[in-house]
Amino acid sequence: GQFMARTQLKRGKKTLDCHFRVTVIKSGGDNLLSRAVGAHLGLIQHVEEVSVYGELRLLKGEPVKIELKENARPYSITTPRRIPIPLVPKVEEELRRMKCLGIIESVTEPTEWVAPMVPVVKPSGKIRICVDLKRLNKSAQREKLILPALDDILHRLAGSTVFSSLDAASGFWQIPLDEESARLTTFITPLGRFCFKRLPFGVTSAPEIFQRKMCELLRDHEGTIVYMDDILVSGGDGISPQPDRVTAITAVEPPQNQTELRRLLGMVNFLGRYLPHLSSVLHPLNDLLRADVAWLWGPEQGEAFKKVKALISSAPVLQFFNLKLRTVVSADASSHGLGGVLLQEHEGGLRPVAFCSRILTDAGKRYAQIEKECLASVWASEQFYQYLCGLETYRLVTDHKPLVTMINGMDLDKVPLRCQRLLIRLMKFNPVAEYMPGKNLVVADALSRHPKPGIDETGLGADIQAHINTVEETEKKPVFERIKAETAKDHTLQLVKGYVERGKRMPESAERAEILERIHHGHMGLTKSRERYRDAVWWPHISKAVKEKVQRPSQPREPLITTPLPELPWQKLAADLCELNGKTYLIVTDYYSRWLEILSLPKASSEGVIQKLVSIIARFGILEQIVTDNGPQFRSQVFTDFIKAYEIIHITSSPYYPQANGMAERAVKTAKTILRQENPALALLSYRDTPTEPTRESPAVRILPLRQA
């Protein structure tokens, strides 16, 4: 029964009166005060949130050192990654702030390790400075520090009456780095190079270092439990699954057809292997899968569905997290939702620890499939942050093969932009991605197709937020009405969306000639010139104007001078070297007849060239002039002595200007075509016996006149 009671409590000089209802039950046990009575009597005090310090401080102790492996190879880049122009002021401001706080410092001396900076925009609009330390992490040694397991914590919390949770703000930045380790974190920005004076986010050993430092700091404080950057004093008188760990299961809607029912039962059979009498509970649901039974979801099936969800989310199925066991995160994305499950390897197989799911936003539904799968893997890891952060590694299972390579080792600058932002969020974890066919990914697949209702506000795409901000900001400007009025008068423009989407400037007609000159400044070519104007200015037919400007020569070229032909054969020769299929050839052609000689050289030396030229002279006589390039074989003292001995005039073409020796260049091209034939000798004979365009006679006829008879 129940009755009203009155009690008094003395607190110092004050006496508190309290009237409350007492309920008497038929069972043994301790007397309990309700929460309302305890709060009224001042026995329970609840503090929402307290900010203890307003500035960033340092933990006591020696600076930490990042130890490298023996085979570590330094990694250094010399060019910073490009930053979008609108973000440059924010990045500069954040770098200055971090420098003023003593988190980073400028680096001017040479360093072996230099990593790229990756700025990330927070939902608040501020910038987070991240550094791509993947190469350093591969070479760094990790501390072997095991985080406390839940089973190790529970027995220390019995009898607690005060429940507090302290969070270390920017915890990693409270730990100083020694000078040598600081140089390992050097990163390059458009403003120069910097390095961290404090322990940075993204270092693979940072979680273990921070956990060790916190444990050392609070080791002598009784009643404190440290888990990463959380100092916890908590308690309870019973162990049951936390609601947030099973909400994704309890929120699953009833299936609407046999396909959805099969998917649901696949998840149930995977998770319910440790539940007794599960088959009897599932009997009404299994009946709907029979071929001779029509689909009819009635009260019996609805009751069985509720029992199944209650059984799956009960303690016998859901396991407590244990750091001594291997951890697996299974994630999947469907067309409208994300799903994930945290599992651990027990003796009997994988057992679930927690579930998560959510629907995709309208923007997320338009993502490419690889972007959805990447989002699912990152989001699931973040949902299980308290279990995964600080683990040496865990398996991240997905049914999307391309994502495995992207997560396990691909450089960020080679990843699509949206996936790049997601993988930056994954850098605080240490996953090893694995592929598993979708038919085996039953739990995550089912949760992604039956996501928990509600929209994750942080899931809004950055592009949508920027689009909304642009519309609001534009509408506030008074000049917008004038722009609309002038647009309505212009016969080349029309109002389409009702707002300025890109904000390009349309210059007056008198300004366009000067702008074209600036665009083409440096003669960058058509593609680069178009990129220069695309985000800055616009006017009707600008693309055509830029194309005409680029293709129009800035000043008239001088006419090409044609080399006069000699009057007799073998007066003037052109010579050059070429390589084909690992062999070197001397190519010689006669200006008068276009006669071609292809001579193989044992090695590309002046002596070899001279030997071949002497054999040609023995057959055709001494020539008057020879034209070559400035190759070392033709500029050596040995070749100069040969030219003088035979009284030959040696003409060299201009350096880096092959057109000056066009005869030899064309001969080389022809010779390579001949050498690629199945029978080069027969192909050379055919060339010599075929009339050429300039002379209208074959080389053989012009150099061997006796053939005309």
Domain presence at residue 333: yes
At residue 498, the pLDDT reads 52
Q: What pLDDT digit, counting tens, does each position of 263-300 carry?
A: 777 767 665 554 555 666 777 887 788 777 778 888 88
Interval 146-162: pLDDT, tens: 667 665 665 566 556 55
The residue with greater pLDDT, 123 or 219, is 123
pLDDT recorded at residue 418: 87
Is residue 126 included in any domain, yes or no?
yes
Rounded mean pLDDT of 520-530? 62
Residues 6+ apart with CB under 8 A from 365: 335, 336
Q: Residue 238: pLDDT above 50?
A: no
151 falls within a domain: yes
Look over the chain and give the mean of its residue pLDDT values, rounded to a whole number: 77
pLDDT at 129 over 50: yes
Q: Are residues 218 and 92 in the same domain?
A: yes
Cα 307 to Cα 163: distance, rounded to the nearest angstrom? 34
Distance in angstroms between the alpha carbons of the first and the last residue of the chain? 139
CA-to-CA distance for 568 and 371, rounded, in angstroms?
73
Among the candidates 490, 519, 551, a domain finishes at 551
What's the total number of domains in the chain?
Answer: 5
| 16 has a pLDDT exceeding 80 | no
Same structural domain for residues 146 and 213? yes
Q: CB-based burial of residue 75 (10 Å sphere; 0-12 exposed, 13-18 middle, 19+ buried)? A: middle
Q: Can you give the residue range of the structural domain that contains 581? A: 572-708
> Same domain for 271 and 207?
no
Distances (CA, A) of 607 to 268, 558, 577, 601, 646: 85, 39, 14, 10, 15
Same domain, 144 and 167: yes
The predicted structure's pLDDT at residue 101 = 85
Least confident of 165-169, 370-374, 444-448, 660-664: 444-448
Residue 699 within any structural domain of the chain:
yes
Instruction: Please give the torsion angle defined by the CA atoms of residues 449, 454, 455 and 456, in that order, rounded to the nearest 10 degrees.
Output: -90
Do 540 and 409 belong to one domain? no
Residues 257 and 398 occupy one common structural domain: yes
Q: What is the mean pLDDT of residues 236-255?
A: 60
Residue 86 DSSP symbol: G
User: Could you read off the pLDDT of 586-614 as tens digits, one per residue?
Assistant: 999 998 888 999 999 988 889 999 999 99
Domain at 224, CATH number: 3.10.10.10
Domain boundary among 494, 517, 551: 551
Q: Is residue 69 part of a domain?
A: no
Does 210 share its domain with 273?
A: no
Which pLDDT belongs to residue 529?
A: 66
288 and 402: one domain?
Answer: yes
Same domain, 160 and 257: no
The 10s digit of each residue's pLDDT in 28-55 is 666 677 766 666 666 665 554 555 555 6
Whether the CA torsion 229, 234, 240, 242 is positive or negative: it is negative
**Cβ density class 385-401: b for 16+ within 10 Å, e for less:** eebbbbbeebbbbbbbe
3-state SS assignment for residue 406? helix
Tell me, yes or no, whether 238 lies in a domain. Answer: no
Predicted TM-score (pTM) above 0.85? no
At residue 161, the pLDDT reads 57
> Exposed, middle or buried, 384 (CB in 10 Å: 0-12/13-18/19+)?
buried
Three-state DSSP class for residue 41: coil
**168 and 136 within one domain:** yes
Asked if 278 and 359 sit in the same domain, the reply is yes
Position 472 pLDDT exceeds 60? no
pLDDT at 539 over 60: yes
537 and 596 both lie in a single domain: no
At 234, is the pLDDT very low, low, confident or very high (cuts 50, 70, 90)?
A: low
Amino acid 303: pLDDT: 85
State how far the Cα of 314 lies from the Cα of 249, in Å rounded to an integer.
Answer: 11
135 within a domain of the structure (yes/no):
yes
Which of 207, 233, 259 is a domain's end point? 233
Q: How confident is the model over 556-576, as a mean pLDDT? A: 75
Residue 468 pLDDT: 45
In the predicted model, what is the mean pLDDT of residues 464-470?
A: 42
- At 672 the pLDDT is 92
Percent of the chain with pLDDT over 70: 70
Mean pLDDT of 419-448: 81
Average pLDDT over residues 298-311: 80
Helices (H), ranges, 584-654: 606-620, 632-635, 637-645
How far apart are alpha carbons 262 and 267 in whole angstroms?
9
On the question of pLDDT at 495 being above 70, the answer is no
Inform me whether the pLDDT recorded for 71 exceeds 70.
Answer: yes
Establish how many alpha carbons lie within 13 A of residue 694's alpha carbon, considering only the half-sphere containing its beta carbon: 14
Strand (E) or helix (H) holding 303: helix 299-312
Q: What Rg value do the Cα atoms of the chain yield, rounded?
A: 40
Residue among 132, 130, 213, 140 at smallest CA distance from 180 = 140
Confidence band for 433, pLDDT divided at 50, 70 and 90: very high
Tell me, yes or no, whether 198 lies in a domain. Answer: yes
CATH number at residue 247: 3.30.420.10
φ, ψ for residue 44 (rounded to 5)?
-120, 125
